[in-house]
Chain A
Amino acid sequence: MSETSRRNVIAVAGAGAAVGAAALMGGGAASAASRPSRISAQEPLVAYVEDHRSDRVTLMIGEDEVVVRDRDLVTRLLAAMGGK
């Protein structure tokens, strides 16, 4: 994965984190935070959390993969599944 695309993927993860936080706050902050960045990935993405106790999320776009270490993101992904 090139550094540019790696930054893109991490930016996507960061944007996702912002979406979660902004949604909790509600209102205009959410729409500002969820606006796609100029360097956001523009294609389907798969996120994989192998260990729900860890801070690691593997993001897959095309033939690329990057591991993002973000415990807050893991927590919100798990919470989005409603505790299943």
Chain B
Amino acid sequence: MSSHREAPEISKDPVADSTDVYAFRSPANPGNVVLIANFIPLQKPDSGPNFFEFGDDVLYEIHVSNKGTAQADISYQFKFKTKVRNDRTFLYNTGQINNIDDESWNRPQSYSVKRVKGNDTTTLGSNLPCPPVNVGKRSTPDYAKLGEQAVHQLPRGRKVFAGQRADAFWVDLGSIFDLGALRPFNEAHLIPMGAMDGINSVQSFNVHTIAIEVPIDELTRDGSTPSDPMSATSTIGVWATASRRTSRVFNKKTGTYRDFGKWRQVSRLGNPLFNEVVVPMAEKDLWNSREPSGDSKYQKFVYKPELAGLLPVLYPGVFPNLEAYDKRRADLHAILLTGIPEGVVPGFQNYTGPVPSDMLRLNVAIPPSKDPNPLGLVGGDAAGFPNGRRLEDNVTTIELRAIAGLTIPLVDPSYTPDDAAAAVEDGSEYTNSPLLGEFPYLGLPGGGYQTEPGTTQAS
């Protein structure tokens, strides 16, 4: 998946596991940028009595690089605090929760937001309430209202939200990780089966979202709101991290853990699927702990991605041109590690300089699309991935087609993509909770009571 359980260590620590990062100009307030980082993957809504929540022992951050160094020039830090109102009940809620400050919510969570720029740290908000999770029809009868109450206004027209949402990512997990199968192309697979539609494995799961909307001029290197897409100041790099303290000691007296030492990064996410399918398994944990500015170590996996070598093997005879291509994948290097330089796509660039670094690059001078194309830049819509990432962008198909060779001609006009490169997809569709038309844009999370079991077959 985009980055759900993408590395061995972080898959055992879901509270700190970043799943997706989005960055786009606000369609409602085009002078602002919306930054979203999701954590805690694959939340089954009916997971009481201890429902999902952010970690009080985790430091969540969204970083922005704007000087071409791939280092964080601005960071937004989020720290959470949870309390138990009634220590004599096992219940998450002792009655209906109609407002986020209702006493009936027994385990309220709140948070602080800080903005770090150089040596300056500014507290943008503190004691900001999260919403409860969507327990069910009786406990949280008007969840939309609870979500609206959890959108907080901050100084300078900023907004922030932190709480449970429906995951907006969609993909056919069951098929892709079963030897690279794509159900619509089952008949062409090395182990053939009948073709069928893809299955959206993520549609009924929730995540925990941190979303912040800030003015564009807060993110650019010169404090401007650029209007020229070709200006070097117009592109920012974005990624999210989660950090834990160096040491954790179990306190037998309390049955809880106590943390010691500095914050250490344990999860990182910029471009979707980078650590997931580009970085080898043996290196994924270390990758999660490193900074984007050190990603030159991983560029060999981008120049020669494993998946591009597997496609011709798994689909014999379908990708002959890709199989014969033995040059470095400069197209993927540009898309994932440097941004697309001027001269490749007419009127567009999101180049952040020569430092190879996995960041989501957003050219903030490109206005939001009135009619977004889920295929983003590949589909002729420069306001979409890999120019930032919108919730509706079909990043799985975009990256699958890019890896299959569709984007090689951008940098090597002598190459002719295989016919399949423009058609390859996992066949799944967005069947998740409907997206909202306003901040924080992610759909309402599924409710526990409303959840029905899926199907499981051993053979």
Contact = CB atoms under 8 A, between A and B. Distances in A.
B191 interface: no
Interface string B164-188: 0000000000000000000000000
Interface range, B side: under 10
Contacts of B249: 46
B253 interface: no
Interface in B256-278: 258, 260-263
B44 interface: no
A63 interface: yes
Interface in B226-270: 245-247, 249, 258, 260-263
A46 B261 CA distance: 8
Interface string A47-61: 010000000001011
Nearest to B262: A65
Contact of B262 (A44, A45, A48, A63): A63
A45 B247 CA distance: 10
B44 to A, nearest CB: 34
A65 B261 CA distance: 5
A63 B263 contact: yes
Contacts of B258: 44
Interface in A40-84: 44-46, 48, 58, 60-65
B262 A64 contact: yes
A46 B263 CA distance: 15
Contacts of A58: 246, 261
A62 B258 CA distance: 10
Contacts of A48: 246-247
A61 B258 CA distance: 11
Interface in A4-60: 44-46, 48, 58, 60
Contacts of A65: 246, 261-262
A61 B245 CA distance: 11
Q: Which 4 residue pairs spanning A and B have beta carbons closest together?
A: A60-B261, A60-B260, A46-B260, A65-B261
Given A60-B260, A63-B262, A65-B262, 8 more contacts: A46-B249, A48-B246, A48-B247, A58-B261, A60-B247, A60-B261, A63-B245, A64-B261
